Amino acid sequence: MTCRLIPEYEGLKDFMLSLPRRFGKGEGTLIHNGRNQLRRFEVDGTSVVVKSFGRPNFINRFVYGILRPSKAKRAFRNAQRLQQVGVGTPAPVGYLNVRRHGLFFRSYLVTLTSPCHQDFGVIMQAPDEYDDVLRAVAHTTARLHEAGIRHLDYGRGNILFERAADGSVLVDLIDLNRMAFGKVSLQQGCKNFERLPATPHMHRIMAETYARERGFDPEQCFALMVAARRKSKNREQY
């Protein structure tokens, strides 16, 4: 096993090493169960979320850990990078890579539990009542792009938000193992919104904020966002 922890969480090393056993026994609170599984644990008064990445195919069992870092390691590094540029994400705690018979087997990512409890998909239930959230999401996206980072799985379930007591909106980005790095153009930036369901009103709000943050023309951003959404394979009807 390869275990990496943020120094301040070194006390959780035994917990990290026990993750294969804990998942095997179904411990913790199940949050999501698919190819990847998410469970929440309380460890010595700290609430953490653990993501167990699905076991890779036979070829990738050779690739991960030798030619490429595991998904957990990539997500861990990307979370640190987002923190460095001031973009919200659940604070990374550590990751664990597990090998069996000399081959990569599975990896686990551990983060603190996010204070954000709703995802972008909730907005579609009342699209005219979340303008503040849409502006916060567009601001976060612009900040990410200005830092030369694109989230390659920028779907509704990977953008979490919460309205704070002071009226501000917190935004956390999750599922960070797939990122692209380098200058983000106007076209690339607007296309990055393509997987987010949105009405014309929602696109207008996001386009205006995104354009202002990056010094672009809002009408051009709006047109590009709408066009990208319509071309998306996963688009929904307005």
Same domain, 91 and 145: no
Q: Over 80: is that where the pLDDT of 68 sits?
A: no
Q: Over 80: is that where the pLDDT of 225 sits?
A: yes
Contact 191, 224 (CB under 8 A): yes
Q: How many domains does the chain have?
A: 2
- Report the residue count for the chain: 238
The average pLDDT across 206-223 equals: 98
**pLDDT for position 69:** 84
Q: Over 50: is that where the pLDDT of 235 sits?
A: no
Looking at 88, 112, 136, which one is the last position of a domain? 112
* Closest by CA position to 135, among listed 207, 197, 228: 207
Looking at 94, 112, 130, which one is the last position of a domain? 112
Same domain, 153 and 65: no
Structure confidence by residue, pLDDT tens digits, 42-58: 998 999 999 999 765 55
Both tokens of 222, joined, read: 């709006």
* Domain range for 222: 118-231
Same domain, 123 and 191: yes
Both tokens of 170, joined, read: 């917190």
Same domain, 64 and 167: no
237 belongs to a structural domain? no
Inter-CA distances, 96 with 44, 81, 122, Å: 19, 19, 32
Residues 6+ apart with CB under 8 A from 107: 52, 53, 64, 70, 71, 72, 73, 95, 96, 97, 98
